[in-house]
């Protein structure tokens, strides 16, 4: 009999790729998601669609029944919005997933967190999981994802077999966040080039993150309660990554040079204005975004290599090429 898996957020970028990989590996897969538009595509892959919301405790609990593994990908990962919305989705949603897993005796929970919990406005390179976290996270997203981690770790102490991964900057075909933002900025106001674009960034091709999750599910009991950094292990200057992407896209790059201090101050003012204006629309630049592209922020993935057997199989270059081909097949439209 096939093993059963539930993927929360299974119509999102990571969750969708994971659900397909699980099915290809012989799992009986169900996805829990709010969006129904992709129901037919999932059906063609023999993946069951469960319409629901991780903020609904009863619905999440019911979806966890009978599952051998739960992969918790669902989250509010926007760069802007009210703290309460992030808390409801990321903290309460995780509480509901944890409760469902505990009630129904799920044999392994793989919880997707974020390395954004490490970073702010300072350079930090080769960060290990044991390195200290800042007293305050840089965004509501990072803050609530850290609280969600603590909920999972508390449950681990009570016997829930869970593994936490922190994948950095996911990209690839189907990306709805990082690369589309660069494309939009390049087409309109120009891409911020902070301090010459020398800051090191870490990227993760989406299929490498999927591999990490599958490895986390299959890992021995010694990995339970562990937190694992995930990236491609190929840090590179921000400008080098952008230049290579747009070369593959056969598009010229339009940069908007600025020093970090000016970018950070401008982002702070934009955030204040956004909070004051009706609608509270997302600023063009937030302080968290300025830190991401203007400060070197890289991970040590040695623990994942050692404990999970993680080894990135798709390089950044190959991943960017795959994205360029995918985008070209869609007539240049990422969404």
DSSP code of residue 225: T
DSSP β-ladder status, 48-51 and 28-33 = parallel
Which of 141, 228, 310, 323 is catalytic? The answer is 141
Q: For residues 74-112, b (16+ Cβ closer than 10 Å) or e, as one string?
A: bbbbebbeeeeebbbbbbbbbbbbbbbbbebebebbbbb
Residue 166 · residue 114 · CB < 8 Å: yes
Q: Give yes or no: 323 in active site.
A: no
Q: Which of 13, 85, 92, 4 lies closest to 50 in space, CA to CA?
A: 4
Beta-strand runs (E) in 80-148: 108-112, 124-127
Give phi and psi for 57, each to the nearest 5: -60, -45
DSSP code of residue 133: P
Q: Catalogue the active-site residues.
A: 141
């Amino acid at each position: 009999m096939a093993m059963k898996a539930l993927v929360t957020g299974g119509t999102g970028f990571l969750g969708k790729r994971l659900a397909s990989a699980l099915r290809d590996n012989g799992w009986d897969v169900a996805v829990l998601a709010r969006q129904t538009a992709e129901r037919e595509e999932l059906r063609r892959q023999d993946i069951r669609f469960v319409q629901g919301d991780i903020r609904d405790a009863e619905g999440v609990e019911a979806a966890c029944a009978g599952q051998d593994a739960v992969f918790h990908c669902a989250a509010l990962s926007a760069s802007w919005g009210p703290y309460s919305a992030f808390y409801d989705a990321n903290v309460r949603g995780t509480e509901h997933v944890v409760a469902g897993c505990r009630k129904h005796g799920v044999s392994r929970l793989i919880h997707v967190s974020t390395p954004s919990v490490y970073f702010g406005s300072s350079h930090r390179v080769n960060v290990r999981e044991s390195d200290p976290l800042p007293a305050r996270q840089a965004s509501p997203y990072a803050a609530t994802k850290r609280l969600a981690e603590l909920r999972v770790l508390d449950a681990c102490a009570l016997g829930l077999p869970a593994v936490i991964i922190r994948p950095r900057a996911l990209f690839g075909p189907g990306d709805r966040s990082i690369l589309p933002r660069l494309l939009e900025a390049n087409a309109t106001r120009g891409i911020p080039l902070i301090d010459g674009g020398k800051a090191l960034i870490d990227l993760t091709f989406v299929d490498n993150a999927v591999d990490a999750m599958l490895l986390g599910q299959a890992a021995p009991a010694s990995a339970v309660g562990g937190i694992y950094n995930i990236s491609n292990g190929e840090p590179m200057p921000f400008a080098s990554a952008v230049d290579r992407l747009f070369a593959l896209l056969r598009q010229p790059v339009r940069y908007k040079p600025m020093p970090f201090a000016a970018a950070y101050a401008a982002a702070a003012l934009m955030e204040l204005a956004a909070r004051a204006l009706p609608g509270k629309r997302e600023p063009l630049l937030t302080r968290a975004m300025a830190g991401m592209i203007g400060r070197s922020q890289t991970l040590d993935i040695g623990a994942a290599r050692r404990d999970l057997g993680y080894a990135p199989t798709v390089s950044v270059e190959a991943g960017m090429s795959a994205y360029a081909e995918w985008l070209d097949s869609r007539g240049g439209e990422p969404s």
